[in-house]
Amino acid sequence: MSGIDGAAPLVAPLVLADIDGTLVHSHRRCADVQGAIVVERYDGRAVGFMSPSAFAMLTDLQAKSILVPATARTTRQYSRIQFPAVPPVAIVAAGGLILVEGVPDPVWSAASQALVDATDATVDEVVHRMRSLPVAEEPRNGDDRFACVKVALEADISDFEEWCDQVGWRVVRQDGRIYALPRALSKATAVPRLTEIVGVEPTVALGDGLMDVEMMLLTDHRISPACGAMWKSGLRISTPVEGVGLSAAEEVLALALERVDTTRTARKA
């Protein structure tokens, strides 16, 4: 099985990494960002942060592994993140697209579009249905693969969830936002195609949210901030770290480096 650009199979460990709440944190998630490195800007404002220690560890992790960001961000939102080195491959749009050198992989784009088409509602129809909820913003179409919107914490979305279920969609709710996706689509759904592209199975997964669950179950080594929605929901499928915000990212990355070093040593033996 060939690696990126038809090269020989890559032998470095493959690390799947959620971004928001796992590696990168916003003002809302950080008590203090003084001294932090800005890794995302939006309309000229600094909106995404990592500590210098975490950024250094991420640099090390990228040097020792194939780091594949796996995010619910759209392609445009993902492009704002400044990694130490630009990842050659990324899963974006909640699993709907795989970017290879910044360009959507046509094989997976067609396959994920088929998953959308197999439901009984288009993304735009789901967006339209979301407008009936007590929303805090205009619902958004995420790269024609999913829909999302902010809602009030106390909002009753049960009717919307029931409708989604009837048309073959599922709803994930966390951090004041709801995501609606085709039932068969997730970050994990994209991993088999990802494996074909890079030539190696995932070893480590990093994530904090409910949309990371299926992806993390694909690996033997799973690491999560205990302050994240996944751990708070009661799911115990990963090794937790106790830090919050910037310090949580440091602890996640430190443990990920340990797992990668162990894997690299075992493969050399």
Tokens 């709440």 locate to 21
Q: Give, rounded to a whole angstrom, the gap between the first and last alpha carbons of the chain.
A: 23
- For residue 24, the 8-state DSSP code is B
The fraction of the chain above a pLDDT of 90, given in percent, is: 89
Q: How far apart are CA 207 and CA 91, in angstroms?
A: 13
Tokens 């993304």 locate to 123
pLDDT for residue 153 is more than 90: no
Q: What is the pLDDT of residues 181-230, one digit of tens each?
A: 999 999 999 999 999 999 999 999 999 999 999 999 999 999 999 999 99
Please indicate whether residue 150 or residue 8 has the higher confidence score (pLDDT): 150
At 150, the pLDDT band (50, 70, 90 cuts) reads very high
Tokens 């949580």 locate to 248
Q: Is 195 helix (H, G, I), strand (E, B) or coil?
A: helix
User: What residue ranges in 118-175 does DSSP mark as E strands?
Assistant: 140-142, 146-150, 169-174
- pLDDT given for residue 9 in this prediction: 44
- pLDDT given for residue 253 in this prediction: 98
Q: How far apart are CA 144 and CA 35, in angstroms?
A: 38
pLDDT for residue 152 is more than 50: yes
- pLDDT given for residue 33 in this prediction: 81
Q: What is the CA radius of gyration of the chain?
A: 18
- pLDDT given for residue 31 in this prediction: 67
Q: Write out 82-127 in H/E/C secondary structure.
A: CCCCCCCEEEEHHHCEEEECCEECHHHHHHHHHHHHCCCCCHHHHH
Q: Is 215 helix (H, G, I), strand (E, B) or coil?
A: helix
Q: How far apart are CA 200 and CA 256, in angstroms?
A: 17
Query: Cα dist. 261→13, 207, 258 in Å?
Result: 9, 19, 5
Q: How far apart are CA 56 and CA 66, in angstroms?
A: 16
253, containing H or E segment: helix 246-268
pLDDT for residue 4 is more than 70: no
Sequence-separated contacts (24+) of 133-136 with Cβ below 8 Å = 133/157, 133/160, 133/178, 136/176
Nearest CA among 217, 239, 193 for reference residue 90:
193
Query: Cα dist. 148→104, 124, 128, 170 in Å?
Result: 21, 11, 11, 12
